[in-house]
Amino acid sequence: MDESTIILKAKIELARQLYQESRGRIKIIKHDLEVATKDRREFGMYDDCGEFYQDGYKEAKITLQCAVAEHIRLEKTMRFYKHRLRELTTGVSNEG
């Protein structure tokens, strides 16, 4: 096994770990968004605190969007490294 194969395997493992962690983060953020949605529904119409709950909802929604985008990026990165490893180990390139 050469050095580039070892490096790719390490990158795949790291990407896999980060991918799993991001899945957990997304679950937590989804829960936070549900709480923010409930709070906004209950308190968002009041003049004295409504803006606070509206902002909390917007922040939770944006945080979820960013976490999902990061999760997708990690998945694509992991697939790319797996593809490169397959090319190195088999010696076959699928480039057109």
**30-66 pLDDT tens trace:** 999 999 999 988 887 788 888 888 899 999 999 999 9
Query: What percentage of the chain reaches a pLDDT higher than 90?
Result: 68
Q: Is 91 left (phi over 0), alpha (psi -120 to 50) or beta?
A: left
CA atoms of 78 and 5, how far apart (whole Å): 14
Q: Residue 80 falls within a domain, yes or no?
A: yes
Find the DSSP H helices in 1-96: 3-43, 50-90
Q: Residue 85 falls within a domain, yes or no?
A: yes
This prediction's pTM: 0.79
Q: Residue 96 falls within a domain, yes or no?
A: no
pLDDT band at 7 (very low <50, low <70, confident <90, very high): very high
Q: Residue 95 falls within a domain, yes or no?
A: no
Q: How many domains does one find in the chain?
A: 1
Q: State yes or no: pLDDT of 96 exceeds 70.
A: no
CA atoms of 29 and 65, how far apart (whole Å): 10
